[in-house]
Amino acid sequence: MLSQKRRQSTVKKACRLVALWYFVFFLPAVQAHDFWIEPESFRPAIGQKVPVHLYVGMDFKGDPAPYIPEWFERYVYVNAQGEKPVPGLPGDDPAGTVPITAAGLTVIGYRSTKFSVTFDTTAEFEKYLVKEGLERNLALLNQGRPSQGKITENYSRCAKALVMNGTAATPADRVLGLRIELIAERSPYAGGGPVPFRLLYENRPLTGALVVAFNKAAPLDKLKARTDPDGRVIFDIKRRGIWLVTAVHMIPAPRRADAQWESIWASLSFERPEGKP
């Protein structure tokens, strides 16, 4: 049993972290903030317990997001032994700890609940669409969508991290069935050379979406490509270290929704063990 003093301290800590999370996670989408998973080790040993950080920010500069069960629909780790929920307590930062119980690949996956943001003007919303590579939504915006006044967008996040124990290169990734999901089709841990990625939306290839990849040591040096008809892009990822791959998809919100638009954001993080510095 926790003492009353310790219990009060825990509650205060959770409240502070919830306040921070609210401030960070509810920043307007126009700020183009990424959401990603960054374990303290991408190359742990079997038996190691790996603290897991969730971040919201840009260019690998982010604020920590704590473990808040009300704000995710699914938060799991998957290895050769199956799928289990990431254990944690409300307010925890790091946001849970993943035990490495099997050799090879462990995938950490997170799907958030929905949040919303409001743009004051159509011009502001159009600028945001162009910045995020969502130009194809401009045509829809001008076809019956509001042409003036405030625009509300609902958004959610689907993030993954690839954690590797040992030198196994298969499987390269595990498909978790997230609403939007980036999948490495060749293991980033399998030496140098190009890495193909596939982007799925509702388990189908997403065509024409902008995919961006960048390294933590040089976050402004971005690789960009649009997915082909099979939802694929290929990046020549040479630099070693931690990488983040991102994508976003936007659709008109359902008619009965309290918003005009809905966006779904994907991210995939991993560590490249070889290549030039």
Beta pairing class for 104-112 and 210-215: unpaired
- pLDDT band for 255, please (50, 70, 90 cuts): confident
**Picking from 82-91, 119-128, 133-142, 183-192, which range would have the lowest pLDDT averaged per residue?**
133-142
Over range 11-33, report the average pLDDT: 48
Q: Residue 92: what pLDDT?
A: 95
Q: Cα(99)–Cα(86) distance, rounded to whole angstroms?
A: 9
Confidence (pLDDT) at 13: 52
User: CB–CB of 74/86 below 8 Å?
Assistant: no
Domain count, the chain: 1
14-28, 48-62, 177-191, 242-256: least confidently modelled range: 14-28
Task: Provide the residue range defining the domain that includes 71.
Answer: 41-48+66-88+98-272
**What pLDDT, on a 0 to 100 scale, did the predictor assign at position 222?**
96
Q: With respect to residue 35, please indicate whether it lies within any of the assigned structural domains.
A: no
pTM higher than 0.75, yes or no? yes
Q: HSE on the CB side for 252, CA within 13 Å?
A: 12
Report yes or no on 58 lying in a domain.
Answer: no
Does any domain span residue 106? Answer: yes
Measured distance CA(250)–CA(201) in Å, rounded: 11
Share of the chain above pLDDT 90, in %: 69
Torsions phi, psi for 213 (to 5 deg):
-130, 140
- Say which residues have a Cβ less than 8 Å from residue 210's Cβ, sequence separation at least 6: 132, 133, 134, 224, 225, 226, 247, 248
User: What does the pLDDT read at residue 144?
Assistant: 57
Alpha helix (H) ranges present in the chain? 4-25, 122-131, 136-141
Asked if residue 32 is part of any domain, the answer here is no
Q: Based on the number of CB atoms within 10 Å of its own CB, is 152 exposed (0-12), middle (13-18) or buried (19 or more)? A: middle
Asked, for residue 134, whether it belongs to a domain, the answer is yes
Q: Is 123 helix (H, G, I), strand (E, B) or coil?
A: helix
Model confidence at 1, in pLDDT bands (50, 70, 90)? very low
Position 146 in a domain: yes
Per residue in 23-45, pLDDT tens? 444 444 444 479 999 999 999 99
Question: Each residue of 122-166: pLDDT tens digit?
Answer: 889 989 888 898 888 887 777 655 556 789 999 999 999 999 998
Query: Which residues lie across from 239 on neighbouring strands?
Result: none
Instruction: Please state, in angstroms and rounded to a whole number, the distance separating the CA atoms of residues 168 and 105.
Output: 8
Instruction: Give domain status of residue 2, yes or no.
Output: no
Question: Among 14-18, 36-40, 219-223, where is mean pLDDT lowest?
Answer: 14-18
Selected residue with higher pLDDT from 221 and 131: 221
Q: Is residue 83 assigned to a domain?
A: yes
